[in-house]
């Protein structure tokens, strides 16, 4: 995603820093942004804050949801940071454009309740008699206590003498 080819292994590791689903989403968002920039005759990387704000407004008018636009902002920010460019997404104009889009669409950001130990006890399966139940309970509690995301927990392998990633 934009790392010079001569950096070889660095580019591979940078690409691997994101989960596969995030890479796909960012790739689609960046393709959309680059295509729009090309059509407008403006530079995509590094982009000016005004370019990003205009892109977001055009996408909102085309019916894209605030959630989709938020993901595209994250993709644009990531691409700029990966290239060593200053990100235009933190500019006041870009942030104000996103706020205006959310306000117009009536979509306020809502924070989800964190999973507390008490809630975790209700989420963890109660059937601990079988091996699958014990395994599932152990993995859920390990993930909770380690503050892991699903994408971090999925590749965990349980070995006879311990846990390995």
Q: What's the pLDDT at 7?
A: 57
Domains in the chain with CATH codes? 5-105 (1.10.150.130), 117-164 (no CATH)
Q: What's the pLDDT at 92?
A: 96
| 102 within 8 A of 93, measured Cβ to Cβ | no
Q: Which residues contact 128 (CB under 8 A, 6 or more apart)?
A: 134, 137
If phi over 0 gives left and psi between -120 and 50 gives alpha, with beta otherwise, what is residue 147? left
Q: What's the pLDDT at 140?
A: 78
* Rounded mean pLDDT for each run of 10 residues along the chain, 165 residues in total: 57 74 90 97 96 97 94 95 92 95 78 76 67 77 80 72 56
Q: What's the pLDDT at 128?
A: 62
Q: What's the pLDDT at 147?
A: 80
Question: How many other CB atoms sit within 10 Å of the CB of residue 101?
Answer: 20
Using alpha carbons, select from 91, 46, 98 the residue that is nearest to residue 70.
98
Q: What's the pLDDT at 55?
A: 98
In angstroms, the CA 150 to CA 117 distance is 17
Using alpha carbons, select from 59, 103, 55 the residue that is nearest to residue 79.
55
Euclidean distance between the first and the last CA atom of the chain, given in angstroms as a whole number: 26
């Amino acid at each position: 995603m934009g790392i010079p080819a001569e950096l070889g292994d660095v580019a591979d590791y940078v690409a691997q820093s994101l989960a596969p689903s995030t890479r796909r989403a960012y790739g689609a968002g960046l393709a959309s942004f680059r295509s729009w920039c090309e059509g407008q005759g403006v530079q995509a990387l590094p982009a000016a804050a005004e370019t990003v704000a205009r892109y977001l407004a055009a996408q909102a008018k085309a019916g894209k949801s605030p959630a989709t636009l938020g993901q595209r902002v994250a993709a644009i920010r990531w691409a700029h940071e990966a290239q060593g460019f200053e990100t235009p997404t933190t500019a006041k104009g870009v942030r104000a454009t996103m706020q205006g889009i959310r306000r117009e669409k009536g979509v306020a950001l809502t924070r989800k309740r964190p999973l507390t130990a008490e809630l975790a006890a209700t989420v963890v399966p109660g059937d601990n008699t079988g091996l699958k139940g014990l395994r599932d309970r152990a993995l859920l509690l390990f993930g909770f206590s380690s503050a892991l995301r699903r994408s971090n927990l999925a590749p965990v392998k349980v070995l006879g003498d311990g846990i390995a990633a």
